[in-house]
Amino acid sequence: MEVYHTIAEIRNFVREQKITGNSVGFVPTMGYLHQGHLTLMEEARKENDIVVVSIFVNPTQFGPDEDYGEYPRDLSRDVELATGVGVDVVFSPQTEEIYLPNSATTVEVEGLTNHLCGATREGHFTGVCTIVSKLFNIINPDRAYFGQKDAQQVLVIKRMVKDLNFDIDIVTVPIVREKDGLAISSRNKYLGQDEREAALVLYQALQIAQNLIGSGERDRDIIKQQLVERIDREPLAEIDYVDIVNQNNLEEAEEIKGEILIALAVYIGKTRLIDNLMLEVDK
Amino acid sequence: MEVYHTIAEIRNFVREQKITGNSVGFVPTMGYLHQGHLTLMEEARKENDIVVVSIFVNPTQFGPDEDYGEYPRDLSRDVELATGVGVDVVFSPQTEEIYLPNSATTVEVEGLTNHLCGATREGHFTGVCTIVSKLFNIINPDRAYFGQKDAQQVLVIKRMVKDLNFDIDIVTVPIVREKDGLAISSRNKYLGQDEREAALVLYQALQIAQNLIGSGERDRDIIKQQLVERIDREPLAEIDYVDIVNQNNLEEAEEIKGEILIALAVYIGKTRLIDNLMLEVDK
């Protein structure tokens, strides 16, 4: 297992692999790895000759009031965890290696980014698309792996890859949950004990929606109201958004039909958590 | 010589070349090839095992009142000319092959694009950066060739390549001129006989500036005034802009010193022509 800090090093490594015909799977992360990330790496391990993981807390995807400064970082622990699942290379650059002083270029996806997290996190997806484009150009992978937990991110990245003709397969991996159902996230570590319990409300609300739809309910407003009511009963929870949208365009689903995404963002104390459910509703 | 119309075809071709270790030089064009383009191809021919030329009139870099519809097109003539300078492949896709119906992604370079042509051609450079990114991802070249005539374009593309970490060398080729000095351009064909003569005023004005600086003049306003006066004396000419800027940031040069760009855009009748002069001024 190698750890590279410079673009030149990782490029040389990948170039040599490509010459020998090896395929490269890439898992971009912001580090502080958890089982969600490790599942992505395990998937990449199965499907590629070489697995590259990037660890880079990307400043441009954080808003001015967000947690860029406090975002948890622990490279040596991350390297150990990545080694454990058979990763070949960790690329862990400094911020200055990635963003030059005069850098002025951004990649933007319109439409899809106006909804859900994009509506409340201004500039977030431009930051995501820009860093992912850069990492794609640096790593030059055959496949890249993203977690379904960031549902909007997955849809935005897939759109970007199609639109800019990146020759890369985007592979999506299902949400990994704790035993009690909480979606695993680096931000869960911010939660105090009471908050950790309260955080379950996201999963519980999604289950209510799933059960309603499973039992035939198709009225979007009724489903949404029940979701909201469940979350509102939790005193430590404050809703950022609760939305039921079409997966294709992320616009409000008029009908509960076809490819539906139920997406939540909820503050538990000061910690903003997201969770979602993707459904294919026949009728 | 092959002509490909689909992304799949050109990708397969380049992939095979790369496997055998061949280097790929790429010349993006909007077709209706002239000696300026052919010079780019000749340069690419010298430095690469394989030369790919794209011919695509990119709608997203034209403004609503610009000449997208009338822009001259002649593929069979272009293929013949490209064959003559040893090009291996022409990639000539339909618009629908390049832009999917839901496409929503743009690449933007801030700062550099606010000046010169960017100030009067809104969205032009976003269109250029987006199509060039797409073509870079489709062709995957080692080197790409751009003409110095589009000076701002060259600087914007170089910035984008650095910022998005494209692993591509950008090679710039000097302006090619007619015997009388007119910079060669696809748009010269719009000029009537009187206009063709009037169009010389761009080159003549740049020569006045060069001579002034050569003889020691360092007052930006005086140089600019002489440029403007020369152009104004030509009844068929109307100035879009005349600027003396720093090459690095395209901001008005306070001093005539270092890497200077003198750039003109002038309407000759209804035809908008550009020309420029790059100077390294010691003192």
How far off is chain A from B82, nearest CA to CA, in Å? 25
Q: Reading across the β-sheet that carries B237-246, which strands appear in turn?
A: B237-246, B258-268, B271-281
- B283 pLDDT above the threshold of 80: no
Q: What is the pLDDT of residue B120?
A: 84
* A152-179 pLDDT, tens digit each: 999 999 999 999 999 999 999 999 999 9
Calculate what percentage of chain A has a pLDDT beyond 90. Answer: 89
Q: What mean pLDDT do residues B133-142 have? A: 98
Hey, is the C-beta of B20 within 8 angstroms of any chain A C-beta? no
Q: Which two tokens stand for residue B280?
A: 């390294």
The average confidence (pLDDT) of chain A is 95
Beta strand extents in chain B (DSSP E only): 2-4, 24-29, 50-55, 89-91, 105-109, 143-147, 169-173, 237-246, 258-268, 271-281
- Helix, strand or coil for residue B158? helix
Classify domain B186-278 by CATH architecture: 2-Layer Sandwich (3.30)
Name the closest residue on chain A to residue B21, using Cα atoms: A19
Topology of the domain comprising A186-276:
Pantoate--beta-alanine Ligase; Chain: A,domain 2 (3.30.1300)
**B283 annotated as belonging to a binding site for a ligand:** no
Contact check, Cβ <8 Å, A104/B159: yes
For the segment B86-110, the average pLDDT, to the nearest whole number, is 97
- Chain B touched by A96 (CB under 8 Å): no
To the nearest whole number, what is the mean pLDDT of chain B?
Answer: 95
Domain B2-173 adopts which CATH fold? Rossmann fold (3.40.50)
**Mean pLDDT, range A227-249, rounded to an integer:** 95
Q: Is B124 a catalytic residue?
A: no
**Are residues B276 and B149 in contact, defined by beta-carbon separation less than 8 angstroms?**
yes
Q: What is the pLDDT of residue A283?
A: 67
The band of B130, judged by pLDDT with boundaries at 50, 70 and 90, is: very high
Return the residue in A12, A105, A250 with the most chain B beta carbons within 10 A, the one to mutate for interface testing. Answer: A105
Task: Check pLDDT > 80 for residue A208.
Answer: yes
List, in sequence order, every residue forming a beta bridge with A171; answer none if it has no partner.
Answer: A145
- A245-279 pLDDT, tens digit per residue, is 999 889 998 889 999 999 999 999 999 999 999 99
Q: Report pLDDT for A191.
A: 96
- The ipTM, to two decimals, is 0.93
- pLDDT tens for B149-200 read 999 999 999 999 999 999 999 999 999 999 999 999 989 999 999 999 999 9
Q: What are the residue ranges spanned by the domains of chain B? A: 2-173, 186-278
pLDDT in tens, A184-203: 998 999 999 999 999 999 99
pLDDT band (50, 70, 90) for residue B119: confident
8 Å CB contact between B168 and B136: yes
Task: Supply the pLDDT for residue A19.
Answer: 87
Q: What is the pLDDT of residue A119?
A: 86
